[in-house]
């Protein structure tokens, strides 16, 4: 059961001029499920992406990096059911062949197509079914909604993830619409499993790349479900330039800041949706670490808490067994940490101060917060002025069930 | 259900001359359970210990470090049910008061007592019950077996963990007997939750300290259940010198090597017992990483595999979803890892070579191995000649149940 997350109403998702979507059933892994998405971009679109740091990156990630370096991008193709990761030279050839086939169907170059795959690892793509599906997806271009697209990229997700923003830049309307997928193997180290944001703003590739990086750091790079950094993490932005607004020439121009604010808010919403739909999640947890020497150590402490199976099962049980959080702070790897300065809040409840249970802390107050389905953990290190926030979920029986049964 | 682990037969546990054991019910946390152990050492005994690197170390760990630095040790006291961690200045005072009370009952100094606690974190010790129990435990000295002692230190352990070795050194018999406890919050970073080895050999504190460190590195520092490094990890060795064997003057002398071989074998048996009894464990997994540049990177890759919830749930499900292992190798943090050189064995089955599924690999072979309750994962990095082995277990529904219910 996702935590306070419903499928978005299709009416809230804004079309992006210059983007056409087509989805079909290709039977990649399962029958009766639309599992192949093609996204066509109008001429002159720009694109940028950030990708997993997993050294075992998937074949499509390698191809994306190559094609983005090359310049013009005219189409994206996404299959679910198979990640095309751990597939060696044949996997790379299959990703290229997919791009070539779509390019030929659309009249563009192989290098103008970005491929994405998500699903099971270490199995080769069923190329016959994929290649059979591509022309049908091209024929369907323009008929699919953003909600259809969000559904077509799901794996163990229980809800499609999509959202839109609309802003006015100097009197002209600019639209941003994004979709994402992911529920397990989530500890993005650059970006989520798959996230796409399209806008009709006009933005040069250079500026778009900086925006993409900043937005990912503020959103997808601050979430974790199970600490497993995926082989396929990709966050992609495309800008069609079809809005009437003037080009955005830099992140720190007034329209650049306006756009970044909308983009970050959109990316955070999508990233949080992944956590809310985390495999087996019953709670949505915000972890804030304050008073660190730098952001790196704040994030390290935050991830130690967010990855601890003992902390995560305590949240699942609504059990204020909060010493487990202190233990995680202690092993986060800060060698000169002074435990006698640490404090811990659970929402508004001061649980520990000076490294020990606070004298006024009452178990029933901790219990009250632990019963909520949204909880903020706040740790004060009292070493400096840096802070970091990240989002995670609990560890439940259903996480084990889902991942023990995923392939069957 | 522990994996191929039974309570040891009390007849297999050898008495150690110079060590007397007493256990009583002190009602620290639960009724009707012997939860307080006192161990008296004969005069002239030496002791050494290695302790958790968790910066949130428990009060008794701080006191142990202090007292070991001081020299002579005449007694150990261990309570289960409460870890005396995250308890601040009062926790430290309580640990000292425990030592003082036992010292006064035994006629030795406070600084000659080593205190140990295990159990729930961030609650103060119930000192009235503890101090009431101590004289009774002293009165009971000599009446308890090593099996009683192993039972008295259990928390979520389902089986007591104890073993003995007997060796001949230059014609004289030397005995080693050890006990350990631990099932969750296990990712020792120096030692396990609690491990004790007593011997009647005569060994100087300096040599004993080196032996203790080497034995811990070969055993307790190579296991993980859930990646949570405890606040209380302690591994202690005591040597009473009551054997007729000549003193062991160094690790690399012939008797030193003989002794180390028995000690390591004993420590590995105890450490593996902790994994076999890992919370919810249904499988015992050996992870070997070969061909690394150094041991550090081999251990890093090994722990990435051993901590991955996705890998652990796949073992639980007996599902050869082995791409998850490759993904974990990829995010282990080796920046210049070349995925095209990685190979992966499951026992004798070559699953992947050159970074991709091996052409001759058949799912049924992987399935056969995955159904076993003891499995070896072997990863070849092909970067160098270093190797490391560690031991872990799977992640099951019962792990979640145990940790969601632990305090209730």
| The dihedral formed by the CA atoms of B12, B277, B189 and B146, expressed in degrees to the nearest 10 | -30
Q: Are A394 and A316 in contact (CB under 8 A)?
A: yes
According to CATH, the superfamily of the domain at A284-405 is ArgJ beta chain, C-terminal domain (3.10.20.340)
Q: Are A257 and A112 in contact (CB under 8 A)?
A: no
Q: Are B290 and B342 in contact (CB under 8 A)?
A: no
Residue B368 region, left (φ>0) first, then alpha (ψ -120 to 50), else beta? Answer: alpha
Between A106 and A236, the higher pLDDT residue: A106
Residue B187 confidence (pLDDT) = 60
Kindly report the average pLDDT of chain A as a whole number.
89
Residue A270 confidence (pLDDT) = 86
Chain A, residues 203-232, CB within 8 A of chain B, namely: 226-231
Q: Are B40 and B20 in contact (CB under 8 A)?
A: yes
Q: Going by DSSP bridges, is the β-strand pair A75-82/B343-346 parallel, antiparallel, or unpaired?
A: unpaired
Residue A217 confidence (pLDDT) = 85
The pTM score is: 0.80
Find the mean pLDDT for residues B36-52: 91
**Residue B35: DSSP 8-state:** -
Both tokens of A218, joined, read 């503020």
Chain center to CA of A82: 18
Render pLDDT for A26-66 as a digit per residue (tens, 0 to 9). 999 888 899 999 999 999 899 998 888 777 888 999 999 99
Q: Are A226 and A182 in contact (CB under 8 A)?
A: no
Render pLDDT for A320-343 as a digit per residue (tens, 0 to 9). 888 889 988 988 889 899 988 999
Angle at B244 between CA B238 and CA B72, to 5 degrees: 30
Decide if B400 and A405 are in contact by the 8 Å CB cutoff.
no
Weakest mean pLDDT among A102-106, A272-276, B88-92, B254-258: A272-276
Q: Residue B399: list chain A partners with CB under 8 A.
A: 309, 313, 400
Q: Which residues neighbour B143 within 8 Å (Cβ) at sequence distance 6 or greater?
A: B21, B22
Both tokens of A264, joined, read 């970050």
Q: For residues A224-254, b (16+ Cβ closer than 10 Å) or e, as one string? A: bbbbbbbbbbbbbbbbbbbbebeebeebeee
Find the mean pLDDT for residues B28-49: 92
Cα separation, A175 vs B252, whole angstroms: 73
Quick one: fold of A10-276?
A: 3.60.70
Beta strands in B182-248 (DSSP E): 194-199, 234-239
Decide if A400 and B316 are in contact by the 8 Å CB cutoff.
yes
Closest by CA to A218, choosing from A195, A239, A240, A241, is A195
Residues in chain A: 408
Render pLDDT for B163-220 as a digit per residue (tens, 0 to 9). 999 999 988 999 999 898 887 766 655 344 688 888 999 999 889 999 988 888 888 8
Q: What are phi and psi of B27, to 5 degrees?
A: 65, 35
Cα separation, B138 vs B36, whole angstroms: 10
* Three-class DSSP category at B239: strand
Residue B193 confidence (pLDDT) = 67
- Which position has the token pair 């983007």? A19
| The dihedral formed by the CA atoms of B353, B358, B360 and B365, expressed in degrees to the nearest 10 | 100
Q: Going by DSSP bridges, is the β-strand pair B374-380/B284-292 parallel, antiparallel, or unpaired?
A: parallel
Given a cut of 50, is residue A190 above it in pLDDT? no
- For A86, A406, B63, the CA distances from B375, given in Å and listed in that order, are 22, 21, 40
Decide if B355 and A314 are in contact by the 8 Å CB cutoff.
no
Between B127 and A221, the higher pLDDT residue: B127
Decide if A87 and B357 are in contact by the 8 Å CB cutoff.
yes
pLDDT band with cut points at 50, 70 and 90 for residue A220: confident
Q: Does A381 touch chain B (CB under 8 A)?
A: no
Render pLDDT for A150-164 as a digit per residue (tens, 0 to 9). 999 998 888 898 999
Decide if A313 and B403 are in contact by the 8 Å CB cutoff.
yes
Residue B190 confidence (pLDDT) = 38
| Percent residues over pLDDT 90 in chain A | 59
Minimal C-alpha gap between B61 and chain A (Å): 14
Cα separation, A325 vs A344, whole angstroms: 9
Residue A194 confidence (pLDDT) = 82
Given a cut of 70, is residue A193 above it in pLDDT? no
Given a cut of 70, is residue B5 above it in pLDDT? yes
Cα separation, B103 vs B97, whole angstroms: 10
Given a cut of 60, is residue A83 above it in pLDDT? yes
| Percent residues over pLDDT 70 in chain A | 96
Find the mean pLDDT for residues A208-214: 90
- Which of B192, B199, B229, B240 is labelled catalytic? B192
Cα separation, B224 vs A308, whole angstroms: 13
- For A214, A400, B31, the CA distances from B397, given in Å and listed in that order, are 38, 6, 28
Residue A268 confidence (pLDDT) = 87
Rounded to whole angstroms, the maximal C-alpha distance in chain B is 71
SS3 assignment for chain A: CCCCCCCCCHHHCCCCCCEEEEEECCCCCCCCCCCEEEEEECCCCEEEEEECCCCCCCHHHHHHHHHHHHCCCCEEEEEEEECCCCCHHHHHHHHHHHHHHHHHHHCCCHHHEEEEEEEECCCCCCHHHHHHHHHHHHHCCCCCCHHHHHHHCCCCCCCCEEEEEEEEECCEEEEEEEEEECCCCCCCCCCCCEEEEEECCCECHHHHHHHHHHHHHHCHHHECCCCCCCCCCEEEEEECCCCCCCCECCCCCHHHHHHHHHHHHHHHHHHHHHHHCCCCCCCEEEEEEEEECCHHHHHHHHHHHHHCHHHHHHHHCCCCCCHHHHHHHHCCCCCCCCHHHCEEEECCEEEEECCEECCCCCHHHHHHHHCCCEEEEEEECCCCCEEEEEEEECCCHHHHHHHHHCCC
Q: Are B77 and B38 in contact (CB under 8 A)?
A: yes
Render pLDDT for B74-85 as a digit per residue (tens, 0 to 9). 999 999 999 898
- Which position has the token pair 């872990």? B392
Weakest mean pLDDT among A10-14, B70-74, B111-115: B70-74
Given a cut of 60, is residue A407 above it in pLDDT? no
Decide if A327 and B85 are in contact by the 8 Å CB cutoff.
yes
Chain B, residues 132-171, CB within 8 A of chain A, namely: none
- Which position has the token pair 């005072």? B93
Residue B267 confidence (pLDDT) = 86
Cα separation, B374 vs B75, whole angstroms: 39
| Percent residues over pLDDT 70 in chain B | 96
Q: Residue A120: list chain B partners with CB under 8 A.
A: 321, 323
Q: Are B166 and B172 in contact (CB under 8 A)?
A: no
Domain ranges of chain A: 10-276, 284-405
Minimal C-alpha gap between B391 and chain A (Å): 18
> H or E element: which one contains B68?
helix B59-70
Render pLDDT for B242-283 as a digit per residue (tens, 0 to 9). 999 999 999 999 999 999 999 988 888 888 888 888 888 899
Weakest mean pLDDT among A93-102, A284-293, A319-328, A349-358: A319-328
Residue A186 confidence (pLDDT) = 66
Q: Are B101 and B137 in contact (CB under 8 A)?
A: no
pLDDT band with cut points at 50, 70 and 90 for residue B162: very high
- For A324, B68, B100, B392, the CA distances from A396, given in Å and listed in that order, are 17, 42, 44, 20
Nearest CA in chain B to A341: B88
Render pLDDT for B279-305 as a digit per residue (tens, 0 to 9). 888 999 999 999 999 999 999 999 999
Is B155 in the active site?
no
Residue B318 confidence (pLDDT) = 92
Handedness of CA B179, B185, B191, B194 (dihedral sign): negative
Residue B185 confidence (pLDDT) = 67
Taking each helix axis from N to C end, the angle separating B397-405 and A309-316, rounded to the nearest 10 degrees, works out to 70
- Which position has the token pair 């794996």? A155
Taking each helix axis from N to C end, the angle separating B295-307 and B323-330, rounded to the nearest 10 degrees, works out to 130
Q: Does A354 touch chain B (CB under 8 A)?
A: yes
- Which position has the token pair 């599924």? B357
Residues in chain B: 408
């Amino acid at each position: 059961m996702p935590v306070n997350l419903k499928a978005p109403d299709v009416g809230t998702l804004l079309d992006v001029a210059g983007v056409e979507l087509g989805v079909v059933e290709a039977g990649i892994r399962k029958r009766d499920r639309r599992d192949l998405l093609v996204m066509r971009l109008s001429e002159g679109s720009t694109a940028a992406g950030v990708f997993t740091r997993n050294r075992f990156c998937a074949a499509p990630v390698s191809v994306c990096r190559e094609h983005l370096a090359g310049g013009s991008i005219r189409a994206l193709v996404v299959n679910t059911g198979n990640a095309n990761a751990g597939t060696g030279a044949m996997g790379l050839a299959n990703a290229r062949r997919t791009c070539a086939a779509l390019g030929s169907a659309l009249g563009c170059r192989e290098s103008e197509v970005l491929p994405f795959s998500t699903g099971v690892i270490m199995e080769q793509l069923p190329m016959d079914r994929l290649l059979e599906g591509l022309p049908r997806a091209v024929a369907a271009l323009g008929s699919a909604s953003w909600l259809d697209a969000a559904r077509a990229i799901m794996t163990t997700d229980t809800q499609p993830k999509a959202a839109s923003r609309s802003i006015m830049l100097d009197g002209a309307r600019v639209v941003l619409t994004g979709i994402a997928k992911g529920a397990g193997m989530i500890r993005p180290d650059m970006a989520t499993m798959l996230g796409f944001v399209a806008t009709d703003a006009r933005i040069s590739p250079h500026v778009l790349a900086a925006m993409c990086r900043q937005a990912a750091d503020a959103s997808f790079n601050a979430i974790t479900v199970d600490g497993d950094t995926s082989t396929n993490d990709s966050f992609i932005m495309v800008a069609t330039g079809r809005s009437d607004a003037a080009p955005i020439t830099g992140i720190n121009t007034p329209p650049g800041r306006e756009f970044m604010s909308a983009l970050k808010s959109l990316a955070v919403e999508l990233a949080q949706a992944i956590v809310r739909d985390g495999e087996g999640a019953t709670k949505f947890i915000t972890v804030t670490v304050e008073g660190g020497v730098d952001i790196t150590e704040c994030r390290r402490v935050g991830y130690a808490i967010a990855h601890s199976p003992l902390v995560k099962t305590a949240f699942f049980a609504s059990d204020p067994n909060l010493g487990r959080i202190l233990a995680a702070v202690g092993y986060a790897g800060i060698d000169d940490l002074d435990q006698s300065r640490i404090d811990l809040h659970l929402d508004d409840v001061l649980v520990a101060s000076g490294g020990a249970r606070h004298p006024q802390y009452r178990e029933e107050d901790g219990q009250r917060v632990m019963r909520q389905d949204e909880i903020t953990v706040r740790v004060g290190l009292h070493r400096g002025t840096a802070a970091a926030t990240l989002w995670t979920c609990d560890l439940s029986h259903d996480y084990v069930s889902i991942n023990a049964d995923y392939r069957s």
